[in-house]
């Protein structure tokens, strides 16, 4: 008899399935009988470069497949763009699954963690052009690279391999990983895969007509079944031996009792035909390894691909494997998740497993969709099998555990099955003292938006599950997450406090704030005087036993010659340091008392320290200043009721808290909670053009019309290459390749791009020797014997690309810097050209009206792009200029394809600009900035003195360059005044074209928000006006939420 396999615990799980980005959401969809198959979204067709006019097969699709937080993983944007979306999503899911297990990502570094990924076909490379070819493409689309990349970025040292067995690959990977755990090759396993389509064939493509449903829907076991449907999704699991999971008090989603894999061999009518005998052997083998009788299986998730012959063979195999039904038992219940989300190719088996896990956790059997009339070839009654058609309770025998199975079969004949069991009951916590004094909730990220999103997700999860123990939640947040630089924390004593704290912390993070000083900052304790008062010491002793014990310890250890006052003073401070150590905070840096400092460092006994505290010069000594960035803790400010708040404050300040010390001996469990919220940065190549339209002209052509003949030519050409390869905005001459995010691997692609664009062969060492754009261009020019030359007026914020450029007219300040971050976040392939004001640095008079500006700028626009369609994007006053430019172009017969108006309120009465130049300059420098000028102190000064004082203050604060001349400042304020007057005099007129309005969610000024929903644009635009809102106010929306604006513009484009 086959020995019973050691059970495997699923401790972590992350999913991205159609209409579901969590296990809880997927459960709700299954319970509601949701059909996620639909027409391919227009955005996906656009990403694929597919013809939206053709009909495509329906698909249960994912959203956001082009998004990836490349900065989180330290991957340059260009490299991320050349990574298969299946790789990117799998990497993020692997991190989410580890965090879902209640362990930080850093916990797997250096461990024998296995990474076993299900690999399948990748079609992403089909979207790439010759310009994309190179080492990065090889690494980004190679199936074998996926597990290696995950292992490299997470630092795991166990086996890392990819499996490809066809449709059954997911469960085969599970079987291999389970074997590694049982055999000791790995202590933990990360298993999963992602199936995402990058290209779409039109519906007339009938190459797979025998296995793919004409309607796109899988009707498993139904008379109308005509094949499977297409689906996308990703699943990653974290596995460990059940005994290890119980020991570590891990959350367990479900238990894998056994897995089995076999092949049809020659027992079928052909390579791709199913084998009844092989399926029977598979099921019996799996159940025998699990030590179960077939009758104990409450539900079986079938392969259920919806082919009439395949369904018949599978039902008969289930019946034969089970044997005669046990007396009094109902028919065996089967179903297929493919009826909900289509066939996920190599991830199909894992999708079925997730369905069974969700059913076990919620003790329900879900309906299998599209089953209205049984397959006439299948005698369900005789075979003792029935298809689940409604949501019913999943009942266990004798109140024991639930058991379920999941099958997955391959077109190549490899079959796999897994037996799942409900998780064992969690052991009770032990070791925690009664009268819990509370804890500290901690959330961190790599930016305030991520922190805000995590707070919101945690609050929703906790509010949705009253059964979660608050202490387990804090334990998981403290010990189960990496602690990143952007932090929020707050005291928690009950569930209501946790929910309210998350609400307040999320709201605060959403408002943003200064960047953190940095993590891992040591605490320097200062003892300037008495320390905690006697009253506060009594409060602390009453609430914290460790504090009371430390005070008593001092009283007992005090030598006879030490007076009571000294003992009391020393004990209050010593006990607080002891209390902080129980909160995992290093207290070895102390100043203000040599006695306390030496004892804190372990250099003296308590009695010796008390004796030393009586010396008259004790307060003059302490730890030497360690230098660096410290967090100061003043013991005179300690209060008896704010210890938790003090710990939270220290954590937020960057103090490294040892949370293992905090939770030692409490016996708290790890629970499944939402993990890190990745930034949705667009990472996608530009697919080849479907039509033969001429490429869009650019300020600098994608490929030079002539060889470079000067150093400036080389700088421009090299900047174009770096912009494309590194995916950054404008590259200044002193930009350092490595500081821009370049790597040695990416350098190979850069060298190939330089060779293709310029015909120049450089070596890798040339980039290391000449790291800046200016140096490398000079090296190339010197090698060719060329001299410098000059350039022209418009600003190529982002050069190169096959699409028509986006023109961005200046706001009232006259410059185009506000568009720089936005340009970096916009979809690839679109050049972005800034249109600065006349008069800033050219010695000309500023244009006096919006109409004059539009006339001038349309002429300049046509020098770059002679014919439409044109794309215009404007922010603030720039939106007014863009609107007038669109009117001019339309009146002259040119098509404006895109007009994006960002936060320009047409109903706002601007008022005349101030007469004094100093007041104008103050308005310009303080708008959207923390910089402030004490105008009261300027009242007694002359205008000349006021202006000089403002300039001096601004230069000292870094708001103006120190080298900026009086003439340059005068030109800037002159442009600002002209623009303010132009807006005041602008005569609004109608426009018939469509437009997109993007408004800030928050008004710029305090008080009631009386802005119109469309900011008044529909009064003038007769075409369709689409309105979107993004977080932030008029200024912060561009600085902090430019990616949200770029996403909207990307959809418009």
Same domain, yes or no, for 328 and 232? yes
Q: What is the mean pLDDT of residues 81-104?
A: 96
Strands in 385-387's sheet, in edge-to-edge order, are 160-163, 113-118, 188-195, 233-241, 8-16, 254-263, 414-421, 403-409, 299-301, 332-335, 385-387
Distance, CA of 40 to CA of 17 (rounded, Å): 15
Mean pLDDT of all residues in the chain? Answer: 85
Exposed, middle or buried, 99 (CB in 10 Å: 0-12/13-18/19+)? buried
Assess if residue 64 is contained within a domain: yes
Structure confidence at residue 216 (pLDDT): 86
Assess if residue 960 is contained within a domain: no
Structure confidence at residue 359 (pLDDT): 97
Q: What is the mean pLDDT of residues 721-728?
A: 78
Assess if residue 291 is contained within a domain: yes
Residue 883: name the closest of 991, 792, 790 by CA: 991
Q: What is the mean pLDDT of residues 587-591?
A: 79
Q: Are strands 59-60 and 230-231 parallel, antiparallel or unpaired?
A: parallel
Q: Which of 421, 447, 469 is the last residue of a domain?
A: 421
Residue 235: name the closest of 53, 111, 62 by CA: 62
Is the pLDDT at 22 greater than 90? The verdict is yes
Helices and strands of the chain, counted as H and E runs: 35, 27
Is the pLDDT at 698 greater than 60? The verdict is no
Domain total in the chain:
4
Same domain, yes or no, for 360 and 383? yes
Q: Which helix (H) or strand (E) holds 511?
A: helix 495-511
Assess if residue 963 is contained within a domain: no
Same domain, yes or no, for 129 and 273? yes
Same domain, yes or no, for 878 and 984? yes
List the single range of 3-17, 685-699, 910-924 with lowest mean pLDDT: 685-699
Structure confidence at residue 790 (pLDDT): 27
Structure confidence at residue 479 (pLDDT): 95
Q: What is the mean pLDDT of residues 23-50?
A: 94
Q: What is the mean pLDDT of residues 846-851?
A: 92
Q: What is the mean pLDDT of residues 441-448?
A: 94
Q: What is the mean pLDDT of residues 446-465?
A: 94
Same domain, yes or no, for 824 and 750? no
Per residue in 870-879, pLDDT (tens digit) is: 999 999 999 9
Q: 531 or 945: whose pLDDT is higher? A: 945
Distance, CA of 885 to CA of 880 (rounded, Å): 9
Contacts for 338 with CB less than 8 Å, ≥ 6 apart: 218, 220, 228, 229, 231, 304, 305, 306, 348
Q: Which of 420-429, 499-508, 793-802 tops mean pLDDT?
A: 499-508
- Other CB atoms closer than 10 Å to residue 892's CB: what's the count? 10
Distance, CA of 174 to CA of 189 (rounded, Å): 9
Q: Cα dist. 132→689, 719, 750 in Å?
A: 14, 17, 11
Q: What is the mean pLDDT of residues 617-644?
A: 63
Q: Which of 97-111, 195-209, 557-571 tops mean pLDDT?
A: 97-111
At 116, is the secondary structure helix, strand, or coil?
A: strand
Q: What is the mean pLDDT of residues 339-362?
A: 97
| Residue 853 CA, distance from chain mean position | 41
Q: Give pTM, 2 decimals.
A: 0.70
Structure confidence at residue 849 (pLDDT): 93
Q: Which helix (H) or strand (E) holds 5?
A: none
Q: What is the mean pLDDT of residues 699-710?
A: 47
Same domain, yes or no, for 788 and 853? no
Q: What is the mean pLDDT of residues 227-233?
A: 92
Phi, psi of 141 (to 5 degrees): -120, -5
List the single range of 316-325, 560-569, 785-794, 837-846 with lowest mean pLDDT: 785-794
Domain of residue 184, CATH code: 3.40.47.10
Q: Which of 14-23, 605-614, 1014-1023 tops mean pLDDT?
A: 14-23
Using 50, 70 and 90 to split pLDDT, how confident is the model at 703?
very low
Using 50, 70 and 90 to split pLDDT, how confident is the model at 636?
low
Assess if residue 818 is contained within a domain: yes
Distance, CA of 116 to CA of 238 (rounded, Å): 10
Distance, CA of 318 to CA of 321 (rounded, Å): 5
Q: Are strands 8-16 and 233-241 parallel, antiparallel or unpaired?
A: antiparallel
Same domain, yes or no, for 540 and 605? yes
Assess if residue 676 is contained within a domain: no
Q: What is the mean pLDDT of residues 943-967?
A: 71
Same domain, yes or no, for 823 and 781? no
Q: 480 or 691: whose pLDDT is higher? A: 480
Q: Which helix (H) or strand (E) holds 944?
A: helix 943-956
Q: Please, what is the Cα angle at 55 between 49 and 58, to 5 degrees?
A: 95
Is the pLDDT at 693 greater than 50? The verdict is no
Tokens, residue 49: 């470069």
Same domain, yes or no, for 864 and 720? no
Is the pLDDT at 120 greater than 90? The verdict is no
Residue that has been written with the tokens 């979204």 in this structure? 41
Q: 147 or 516: whose pLDDT is higher? A: 147
Structure confidence at residue 402 (pLDDT): 95
Q: Which of 364, 394, 421 is the last residue of a domain?
A: 421
Domain housing 857: 806-911+973-1052
Same domain, yes or no, for 977 and 1021? yes
Q: Cα dist. 492→446, 471, 503, 709, 1050 in Å?
A: 24, 9, 13, 68, 42
Is the pLDDT at 788 greater than 50? The verdict is no
Exposed, middle or buried, 482 (CB in 10 Å: 0-12/13-18/19+)? middle
Contact at 8 Å (CB) between 980 and 880? Answer: no
Supply the DSSP string of 520-589, one letter for each residue.
Answer: SBPEEEE--SS-S-HHHHHHHHHH-HHHHHHHHHHHHH--TTS-HHHHHHHHHHHHHHHHHHHTT-----
Per residue in 905-943, pLDDT (tens digit) is: 998 877 788 878 888 778 777 776 667 777 777 777 777
Domain of residue 1034, CATH code: 3.40.50.1820
Distance, CA of 846 to CA of 345 (rounded, Å): 62
Q: Which of 741, 768, 794 is the last residue of a domain?
A: 794
Same domain, yes or no, for 784 and 810? no
Q: Cα dist. 834→159, 278, 815, 817 in Å?
A: 51, 66, 8, 8
Residue 440: name the closest of 494, 502, 492, 506 by CA: 492
Domain of residue 722, CATH code: 1.10.1200.10
Tokens, residue 13: 């799980």
Same domain, yes or no, for 811 and 723? no
Structure confidence at residue 217 (pLDDT): 92
Q: What is the mean pLDDT of residues 888-909?
A: 91
Contacts for 549 with CB less than 8 Å, ≥ 6 apart: none
Q: What is the mean pLDDT of residues 527-534?
A: 70
Contact at 8 Å (CB) between 261 and 347? Answer: no
Contact at 8 Å (CB) between 246 and 417? Answer: no
Assess if residue 682 is contained within a domain: no
Q: Which residues are catalytic?
A: 167, 303, 343
- Other CB atoms closer than 10 Å to residue 478's CB: what's the count? 22
Assess if residue 548 is contained within a domain: yes
Q: Cα dist. 1050→179, 319, 873 in Å?
A: 46, 53, 12
List the single range of 446-450, 623-627, 689-693, 909-913 with lowest mean pLDDT: 689-693
Structure confidence at residue 631 (pLDDT): 73
């Amino acid at each position: 008899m086959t020995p019973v396999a050691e059970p495997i615990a699923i401790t972590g799980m992350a999913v991205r399935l159609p209409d579901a980005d969590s296990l809880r959401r997927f459960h709700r969809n299954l319970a509601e009988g949701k059909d996620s198959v639909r027409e391919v979204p227009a955005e996906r067709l656009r990403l694929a470069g597919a013809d939206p006019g053709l009909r495509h097969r329906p698909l249960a699709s994912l959203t956001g497949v082009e998004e990836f937080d490349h900065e989180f993983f330290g991957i340059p944007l260009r490299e991320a763009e050349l990574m298969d979306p299946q790789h990117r999503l799998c990497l993020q899911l692997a991190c989410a699954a580890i965090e879902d297990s209640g362990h930080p990502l850093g916990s797997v570094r250096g461990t024998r963690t296995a990474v076993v990924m299900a690999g399948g076909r990748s079609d992403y490379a089909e979207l790439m052009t010759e310009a994309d070819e190179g080492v990065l493409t090889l690494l980004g689309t190679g199936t074998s690279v996926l597990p290696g990349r995950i292992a490299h970025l997470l630092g795991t040292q166990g086996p890392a391999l990819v499996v490809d067995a066809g449709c059954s690959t997911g469960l085969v990977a599970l079987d291999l990983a389970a074997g590694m755990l049982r055999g000791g090759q790995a202590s933990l396993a990360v298993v999963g895969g992602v199936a995402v389509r990058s290209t779409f064939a039109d519906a007339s493509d009938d190459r797979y007509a025998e296995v793919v449903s004409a309607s796109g829907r899988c009707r498993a076991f139904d008379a109308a079944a005509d094949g499977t449907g297409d689906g996308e999704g990703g699943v990653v699991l974290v596995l460990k031996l059940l005994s290890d999971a119980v020991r570590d008090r891990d959350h367990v989603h479900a238990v894998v009792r056994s897995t089995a894999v076999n092949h049809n061999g020659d027992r079928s009518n052909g390579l791709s035909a199913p084998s009844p005998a092989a399926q029977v052997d598979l099921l019996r083998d799996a159940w025998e390894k699990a030590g179960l009788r077939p009758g104990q299986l409450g539900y079986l998730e079938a392969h259920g691909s919806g082919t009439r012959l395949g369904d018949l063979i599978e039902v008969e195999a289930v019946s034969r494997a089970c044997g005669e039904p046990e007396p009094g038992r109902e028919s065996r219940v089967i179903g297929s998740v493919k009826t909900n989300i289509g066939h996920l190719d190599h991830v199909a088996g894992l999708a079925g497993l997730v369905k069974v896990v969700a059913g076990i956790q919620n003790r329900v059997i879900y309906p299998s969709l599209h089953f209205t009339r049984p397959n006439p070839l299948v005698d369900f009654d005789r075979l003792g099998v029935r298809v689940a058609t409604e949501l019913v309770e999943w009942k266990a025998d004798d109140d024991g555990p639930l058991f379920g199975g999941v099958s997955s079969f391959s077109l190549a004949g490899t079959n796999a099955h897994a037996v799942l069991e409900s998780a064992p009951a969690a052991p009770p916590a032990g070791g925690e003292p009664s009268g819990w004094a509370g804890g500290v909730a901690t959330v961190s990220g790599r930016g305030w938006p991520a922190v805000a999103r995590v707070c919101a997700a945690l609050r929703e999860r906790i509010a949705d599950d009253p059964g979660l123990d608050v202490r387990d939640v804090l334990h998981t947040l403290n010990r189960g997450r990496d602690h990143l630089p952007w932090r929020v924390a707050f005291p928690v004593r009950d569930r209501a406090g946790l929910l309210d704290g998350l609400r307040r912390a999320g709201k605060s993070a959403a408002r943003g704030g200064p960047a953190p000083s940095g993590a891992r900052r040591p605490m320097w304790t200062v003892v300037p005087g008495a320390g905690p008062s006697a009253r506060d010491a009594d409060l602390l002793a009453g609430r914290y036993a460790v504090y009371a014990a430390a005070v008593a310890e001092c009283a007992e250890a005090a030598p006879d010659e030490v007076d009571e006052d000294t003992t009391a003073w020393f004990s209050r401070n010593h006990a607080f340091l002891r209390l902080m150590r129980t909160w995992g905070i290093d207290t070895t840096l102390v100043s203000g008392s040599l006695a306390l400092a030496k004892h804190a460092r372990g250099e003296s006994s308590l009695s010796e320290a008390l004796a030393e505290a009586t010396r008259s010069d004790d307060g003059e000594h302490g730890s030497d200043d360690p230098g660096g960035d410290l967090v100061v803790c003043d013991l005179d400010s300690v209060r008896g009721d704010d210890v938790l708040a003090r710990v939270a404050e220290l954590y937020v300040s960057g103090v490294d808290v040892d949370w293992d010390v905090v939770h030692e001996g409490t016996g708290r469990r790890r629970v499944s909670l939402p993990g890190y919220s990745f930034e949705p940065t667009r990472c996608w190549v530009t697919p080849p053009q479907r039509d033969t339209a001429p490429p869009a002209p650019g300020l600098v052509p994608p490929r030079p019309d002539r060889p470079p003949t000067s150093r400036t030519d080389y700088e421009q050409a090299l900047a174009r290459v770096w912009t494309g390869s590194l995916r950054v905005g404008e590259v200044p001459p002193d930009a350092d390749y490595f500081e821009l995010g370049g790597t040695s691997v990416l350098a190979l692609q850069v060298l190939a791009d330089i060779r293709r664009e310029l015909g120049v062969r450089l070596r890798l060492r040339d980039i290391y020797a000449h790291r800046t754009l200016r140096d490398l261009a000079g090296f190339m020019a010197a090698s060719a014997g060329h001299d410098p030359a000059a350039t022209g007026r418009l600003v190529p914020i982002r050069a190169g690309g096959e699409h028509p450029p986006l023109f961005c007219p200046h706001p009232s300040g006259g410059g185009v810097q506000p568009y720089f971050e936005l340009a970096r976040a916009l979809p690839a392939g679109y050049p972005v050209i800034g249109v600065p004001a006349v008069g800033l640095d050219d010695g000309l008079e500023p244009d006096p009206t919006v109409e004059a500006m539009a006339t001038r700028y349309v002429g300049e626009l046509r020098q770059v792009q002679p014919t439409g369609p044109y794309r215009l994007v404007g922010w603030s006053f720039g939106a007014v200029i863009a609107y007038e430019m669109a009117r001019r172009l339309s009146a002259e017969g040119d098509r404006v394809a895109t007009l994006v108006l960002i936060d320009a309120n047409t109903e706002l009465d601007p008022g005349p600009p101030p007469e004094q130049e100093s007041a104008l300059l103050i308005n310009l420098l303080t708008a959207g900035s923390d910089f402030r000028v004490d105008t009261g102190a300027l009242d007694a000064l002359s205008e000349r003195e006021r202006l000089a004082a403002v300039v001096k203050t601004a230069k000292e604060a870094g708001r103006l360059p120190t080298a900026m001349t009086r003439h340059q400042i005068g030109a800037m304020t002159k442009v600002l005044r002209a623009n303010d007057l132009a807006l005041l005099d602008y005569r609004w007129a109608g426009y018939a074209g469509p437009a997109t309005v993007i408004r800030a969610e928050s008004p710029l000024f305090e008080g009631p928000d009386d802005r119109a929903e469309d900011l008044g644009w529909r009064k003038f635009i007769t075409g369709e006006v689409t309105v979107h809102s993004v977080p932030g106010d008029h200024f912060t929306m561009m600085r902090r939420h430019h990616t949200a604006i770029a996403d909207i513009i990307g959809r418009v484009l």
